[in-house]
Amino acid sequence: MELISDWVFQFIGQPPVDLTIFAQTINDPNVLGQIQKSFSHFVQTGQAWALLIGLVIGYMIRNLTSYG
């Protein structure tokens, strides 16, 4: 039944309530500064090393468990 109502809304041109986008207030528009701050926090907390070690161990396990 939902497929029929979605098709009708699409045909008529009125979107369902789920697709409504509400306005947001932006507190800090400095996007590049936020990315830099997040990346430096990522490195300082040791998560970068954990990511690299996990990738290496995962690659090794994949190679050990694959056939051929």
Q: Whole domain around residue 44: which residue ranges?
A: 2-65
Total domain count, the chain: 1
**Whether this model's pTM surpasses 0.85:** no
Say if residue 5's pLDDT is above 70. Answer: no
More confident residue, 39 or 22: 39
The pLDDT > 70 percentage for the chain reads 66
* Gap between the Cα atoms of 54 and 57, Å rounded: 5
Selection from 1, 25, 5, 24 nearest residue 15 by Cα? 5
Cβ 65 vs Cβ 59: under 8 Å: no
Q: What is the pLDDT of residue 40?
A: 96
Beta carbons within 10 angstroms of residue 8's beta carbon? 11
Mean pLDDT, the chain, whole residue set: 82
Structure tokens at 59: 């690659």
Q: What is the pLDDT of residue 8?
A: 62
